Structures are given as C-alpha cells and as structure tokens.
Amino acid sequence: MINILPPKEKESLRLEQTKNLVIILGFVAMVSLICMIFILLSVKYYILSSVDRQKLILQEVAKQHQSVDFTEFKNIIVRYNKILPETVSFYKNEVYFSDILSVISGIERPEGLYFNKIYIDKDEKGGKTKISVFGFSDTRENLLLFQKKIQEAPKIKNVYFAPESWINPEDINFSFTFNFEY
C-alpha cells in the first residue's frame, strides 16, 4: 500500500494514534488502580474481622484465667519463683559443714578441753570460710598444746586466739578464729 497522504495529515494521524494509546493506557491504569483498591479494602475488612474474632477469643481466655484455681496456681508459681533464686544462691555458696567439723574433730585435743560453740561464716567475695570456735579448757598448758596442734593442720589457716583466752591459768573460756581452705 502506498502512503500518499500529506505530511500534515500523517502527523495528525500519528497524534490521534498516540492520543488514543494514552487514553487506553490511562483507562487500563485506572481500572488496575480501582481493582487494587478493592483488593486492599477486602484484605482490610478480612483483617479487621480477624482482629475482632481474636479479641473475643482473648476475652474468653482472660475470663478463664480470672478463675479462682488459676489465680491460686499463679500465686503458687510467683511464690516459687521468689524462692528459686534464694535456693540457687544457697547451693552456689554452700558451706560443707561436715568437712569443717571432720577436720576440727580430727585434731587431737588434750583431755579437759572441749568446744561449746562453733560458728561458720562464708565470705562471698573472697570465697573463704571463717570459723569461730568457743570452748573451755581446764588449764593454760592444755590450751597451748591445742594451739600448736591446730596450727599444724593443713586446711586451717590464720589461726587467731583471742587475748582473753590467755589471762586465767585455769578454768579458761577461750575463743579462736581461723580460715578453712577446701
């Protein structure tokens, strides 16, 4: 086919063709945009209805959790959760009382010397155990003999007898402290 139209007519036909193409593409874009709006609106209403259902379910569960049994179990759990850190702390800072007593009782004591009280205190920072012992000795010589033997014990360090322990020659109420190493 031979195109014999003048150039002005050709230009106007091309302009008309471009205009029609722009109108069609604009219409397709508008229809796509409207469809997208409808899709988003349907998703929005679906989510809102889901949220309402979930709120109703949450209210039902909250009502069940307000029952007497549930609150009682909740209080029990809270109480045990408060006790648990104390228990863990006790086991971490445990003092082996039997080890200390076996070492102290293993030291030979002269006859007439016995213990009245034993206090054990574990130092949290240094990790050492400090023991205070109170007792009675019938003579100063027995107490001196015991002092020498306790200072020779390998697990007992820094033995310190109170100065009041050495005042009386007989019927002595003594006290001493030492550190125990495991």
Taking the domains of the chain in order of start, what are their residue ranges? Answer: 51-92, 97-180
Distance (Å, whole) CA 163 – CA 21:
113
Q: What is the total residue count of the chain?
A: 182
pTM comes to 0.49
| Element housing 132 (H / E) | strand 129-139
At the second CATH level, the architecture of 97-180 is 2-Layer Sandwich (3.30)
Which residues 6+ apart lie within 8 Å of 122 measured at CB? 93, 95, 128, 129, 130
Percent of the chain residues past pLDDT 90, beyond the cut: 38
Residue 175 three-state SS:
strand
Classify the C-alpha dihedral 28-33-37-43 as positive or negative: positive
* pLDDT over 90 (residue 60): no
* pLDDT over 60 (residue 1): no
Distances (CA, A) of 89 to 60, 79, 110, 121: 40, 16, 39, 15
**Residue pLDDT, tens place only, 14-24:** 999 999 999 99
Structure tokens of 69?
């049994």
**Residue pLDDT, tens place only, 98-148:** 888 888 888 888 898 999 999 888 776 666 788 899 999 999 999 999 999
